[in-house]
Structures are given as C-alpha cells and as structure tokens.
Amino acid sequence: MEILHTTNIDSPIGPLFLAASSQGLVALEFDARLPGQQSIRPNPRDLREEKKGFQFEPSSRVMQPYLSELEEYFAGKRREFTFPIDLRGTDFQLACWRALLAIPYGETRTYADIARAVGKPNAFRAVGMANNRNPIAIVVPCHRVIASDGSLCGYGGGLDVKRKLLELEGALTGALAA
C-alpha cells in the first residue's frame, strides 16, 4: 500500500486538495468536482476504494514545499513550479501533460497545438480528454489550453476558475478577456 501525504488549502480560486508520493506531487484537485470527474481521493460511498492501493496521511509539514510555491503563484510572485511531480497515466496522457508543461506562463495554446506537439495532429479531441484526466491542476497547466476559435472551453475547475488563472498570469487578451 503506497502512502500519499495530503493536505487541503484555501486558495483565491477555492479549496484545493494536494497529495504527494515519495517521488513528488501526484494530485492537485479542486474541492468542487464536476459529476464524473476523476479524483485520487476516496469516495466514502464507494466500497471499492481500497483497490486504489493508497493510504492517505495528512501532513502539512511534508506538503509545505508545495504549499509555499502555490502561495507564491497565487500572489503573482512565481511563474514556474520547482517541486517534483509524479505524473501517472498512459503514454499518450503523459505526452500531452509534458506538452502542457512546456506552455510558458502567461501564454495559451489550442488543443490542436497540443495535438501537433505530441505528434498526433488530428487528435485534438483525445488531447481534450487527456487534459480532462490531468491529475495535477494548475501545476500541469491545462488551464492554458483554449479552443481554436480563441474561446475558453472545458476546465475541471469550471470556466470561471480557468478565467481567473489566465487573468492572474496575464494571458487574457482580445476575445479571451470578454
């Protein structure tokens, strides 16, 4: 059984849940989830949760490096995260998430841009699904991905949160700011 250290924090965009393995941050989730949205957290109504193989141990001490960098990010004082992350997914998901990590602070890309970046130019819908499964919101910046027409679309934290993150980073221009 793998031990994951956890903590909950209040942020300018609402409560967040964080979990880290011995290798790095495994999950950064919004407290409010959309129906059907995946979570690493146990669901008290699901008796099959033990199959995930995790034991959760709350630890604000172990989680402090993650909390400090997130606080700096929300204060507008950090543009890159330096703590380790422990991404877990399919090869395609991992490729998409690495492409997200390459999007600079304050910039956006389209789903088609990400599809091209992972060598699957027609897989923009699959890229959208990989973004939907991104376990480390904000740090793996799926909020920086927009529709080809320049509009905001699809975000696990909701479009209002996506807009706030892009505003924080100074990425809202033209049609996005409307």
CATH number of the domain within which 118 lies: 1.10.10.10
> Average model confidence (pLDDT) for the chain?
89
pLDDT at 43: 57
Q: Which of 74, 106, 130 is the last residue of a domain?
A: 74
pLDDT at 173: 64
The answer as to whether 160 is a domain residue is yes
Structure tokens given for 65: 């490096």
Position 28: which residue type? L
Residue-wise pLDDT tens digits, 94-111: 999 999 999 999 999 999
Provide the residue range defining the domain that includes 12.
2-74
pTM for the whole structure: 0.89
Q: Which residue has the higher pLDDT, 32 or 43?
A: 32
- The enclosing H or E element of 4 equals strand 2-9
Structure confidence at residue 172 as a pLDDT band (50, 70, 90)? confident
The answer as to whether 109 is a domain residue is yes
Give the separation between CA 40 and CA 15, rounded to whole angstroms: 16
Same domain, 98 and 163: yes
> Any idea which residues carry the catalytic annotation?
142
Q: Which of 47, 74, 101 is the last residue of a domain?
A: 74
Of 46-55, 105-114, 150-159, the range with the highest mean pLDDT is 105-114
State the total domains in the chain. Answer: 2
Residues 41-60, mean pLDDT to the nearest whole number: 68
Encode 100-127: b = buried (16+ Cβ within 10 Å), e = exposed: beebeeeebbbbbbbbbbbeeeebbebb
The answer as to whether 144 is a domain residue is yes
Asked if the model's pLDDT at residue 51 lies above 50, the reply is no
The answer as to whether 81 is a domain residue is no
Same domain, 158 and 130: yes
CB atoms within 10 A of CB 30: 21
